[in-house]
Amino acid sequence: MSTSTFPLLGIARHRMGTDGEGVTTLAAGAGCPLRCAWCINKKLLRGAPAEDVTPEELLDRVRADHLYFCATGGGITFGGGEALLHADFIREFREICPPEWKITAETSLFVPRSYLAEATDAVDLFVVDCKDMNGEIYRKYTGEDVSVMEENLHFLLERTGPERVIVRVPLIPGYNTEEDQKKSAEALRKMGVEKLDLFEYVIRE
């Protein structure tokens, strides 16, 4: 019997090539400890009610795409908000979902180490939005210290190896430059990251 719940904001089915391989279904959860200046989620989801679901209830809602997941190597992506705030739920969901499904977590890695440790065996692919590796830029954009993300990334790479980690490096209008983005990518390669995704935030005001 599962003991955790997930504050479900919504489900998006039939996603292709968004994160990792295959067809995925996104389960978006509420809550994030960061306060990013351009957070689209805050704007899109302001006032949206979250519904607490158990792992069994979520499984019932997403199992319709079982054959797609198996045929394409896809599965469930936990996003948000910050997916790893719900590491206990993800672990319990992993225990009851079909073993062929791939579990992906979208994360900033700005979470307590114990949450990350709980998720490492349950998650097949971590998609990390690092913001920027420069401490000043990171603090200006998120209001927080970059060292939490950095130290968690070291821990994650050690625990999972680089093949289960994609780090997304954004160009953030008004906060960093293409030069900063390249420097972040270089610093990440030195840390052992092999899968990098450089992209630009699209700001909708």
Cα separation of 146 and 152, whole Å?
Answer: 10
CB nearer to ligand SF4: pick between 65 and 82: 82
Q: Which spans of this chain sit near ligand SF4 (rule: CB under 6 A)? A: 32, 34-36, 39, 41-42, 80-82, 108
**What is the closest distance, in whole angstroms, from the C-beta atom of residue 55 to ligand SF4 in the complex?**
22
Structure-derived torsion over alpha carbons of residues 34, 36, 40, 43, reported in degrees to the nearest 10: 80
CB nearer to ligand SF4: pick between 159 and 168: 168
CB nearer to ligand SF4: pick between 20 and 80: 80
CB nearer to ligand SF4: pick between 26 and 36: 36
Structure-derived torsion over alpha carbons of residues 27, 122, 120, 25, reported in degrees to the nearest 10: -20
**What is the closest distance, in whole angstroms, from the C-beta atom of residue 37 to ligand SF4 in the complex?**
9
CB nearer to ligand SF4: pick between 34 and 153: 34
**What is the closest distance, in whole angstroms, from the C-beta atom of residue 5 to ligand SF4 in the complex?**
19
**Strands, sheet with 102-107, edge to edge from the N-terminal-most edge strand:** 51-53, 6-16, 23-29, 75-79, 102-107, 125-129, 165-171, 195-200
**What is the closest distance, in whole angstroms, from the C-beta atom of residue 123 to ligand SF4 in the complex?**
17
Cα separation of 187 and 135, whole Å?
Answer: 12
Cα separation of 205 and 191, whole Å?
Answer: 35
**What is the closest distance, in whole angstroms, from the C-beta atom of residue 38 to ligand SF4 in the complex?**
7
